Amino acid sequence: MNEKVDDAKKVDETLSRIKNRLLVFSGKGGVGKSTVAVNLGLALGKRNLRVGLLDIDIHGPDLAKMLGVEEKRLESAGVDRIMPVRVNENLSLISMAFLLQTKDTPVIWRGPLKMKVIQQFLGDVLWGDLDWLIIDSPPGTGDEPLSAAQLIPATGALIVTTPQEVSLLDSRKAVNFARRLNLKIYGIVENMSGLSCPHCGKTIDLFKSGGGRKAAQEIGIPFLGSIPIDPAIVERGDDGKPFITNHPDSDATKAFNGIVEKLLNSNREE
Ligand code: ADP
């Protein structure tokens, strides 16, 4: 009992030092949720905001790899705290990846254990004062993202979708999910929206485009922006070099910066 009270107190202490806690959701996997979480974190950090990234997509903890820090291990601080891994001056990360023996080790824990770890990621980690904590949640709208979202009192949600109808349908579910959790919904991001042909420069709508904006209008939430398909996103994700830092002039980087602007404006308007 006492241990539980202590744990809850530690979580409260941590939360009281974090201004914005943003859950990044998607109706299904593979739409670029982690890519968006990482690059928004980097873009906010570039504006001198202090950012934490919390990777609770426990079965696919990809953020450490995308940021080139997957070989790092967590260091303890004091008797019962751990330090997040520092990615750069303004960005730190906690991920399940830092606890796994090897990259190929699957996490086969059952629900309660996973939830305990997520709670420790908040209560036992010395995040310090943060402007934003960006939480990469498990994909979908099932039990796991729900339990995780209930453990982390977020202040807002952002939904990532791709332009295909099936993905848009799922993102409507994700919006309802966020509404049920009483989160401020910052809006929808359409990822993989058109490809700029490297030969002729024209845009090819590989997976269609514009569906995210239409869905946002229909559901009545803001549309935050479209991120084009850019092969460099895959390459940088694979070689662990942060995308927006290495491709500052790309259209995708401009799109990420535009989304950050909208997030910050939305807070100013409150
Ligand atoms: P999720 O977190 O939704 O499962 P990821 O962020 O892991 O999705 O992205 C899945 C794959 O798609 C990764 O290989 C990533 O590099 C790639 N990807 C994501 N967004 C884009 C984009 N806009 N252009 C090109 N590739 C992308």
Dump pLDDT digits (tens) for 123-164.
Answer: 999 999 999 999 998 888 888 888 888 888 899 999 999 987
For residues 48-57, give the mean pLDDT: 94
Distance 9 CA to ligand 1 centre (A): 36
Per the prediction, the chain carries an average pLDDT of 88
**In this structure, what CATH number is given to the domain that contains residue 248?**
3.40.50.300
For atom 4 of ligand 1, the residue with the nearest CA is 30
**Per-residue confidence band for 105, with pLDDT thresholds at 50, 70 and 90:** low
At 3 the pLDDT is 67
Check whether 114 has a pLDDT greater than 60. Answer: yes
Give ligand 1 pocket residues (Cβ under 6 A): 26, 29-35, 62, 139, 191-192, 227, 229-230, 233-234, 237, 252
41-70: average pLDDT: 91
* Whole-number Å distance between alpha carbons of 233 and 236: 5
Residue 164 lies in a domain: yes
Q: Among residues 78, 7, 14, which one has the least CA distance to residue 52?
A: 14
Residue range 157-170, pLDDT digits in tens: 999 999 877 667 78
Which atom of ligand 1 is closest in space to residue 192's alpha carbon? 23
- CA 207 to chain centroid: 22
Is residue 1 assigned to a domain? no
Q: Looking at the CA of residue 30, tell me the nearest atom of ligand 1.
A: 4
Structural domain count, the chain: 1
DSSP-derived letter for residue 200 is T
Q: Decide if pLDDT at 102 tops 70.
A: no
Give the pLDDT score at 103. Answer: 64
Q: Is residue 2 part of a domain?
A: no
Q: Where are the alpha helices (DSSP H) in 32-75?
A: 33-46, 63-66
- pLDDT for position 74: 85
> How many Å from the N-terminal Cα to the C-terminal Cα in the chain?
39
Q: Which structural domain, as residue segments, surrounds residue 217?
A: 7-268
| 6-40 tens-digit pLDDT | 888 888 899 999 999 999 989 888 899 999 999 99
User: What is the distance in A from the centroid of ligand 1 to the CA of 156?
Assistant: 22
- The helix, strand and coil proportions of the chain, stated in percent and rounded to the nearest 5, come to 45, 25, 35
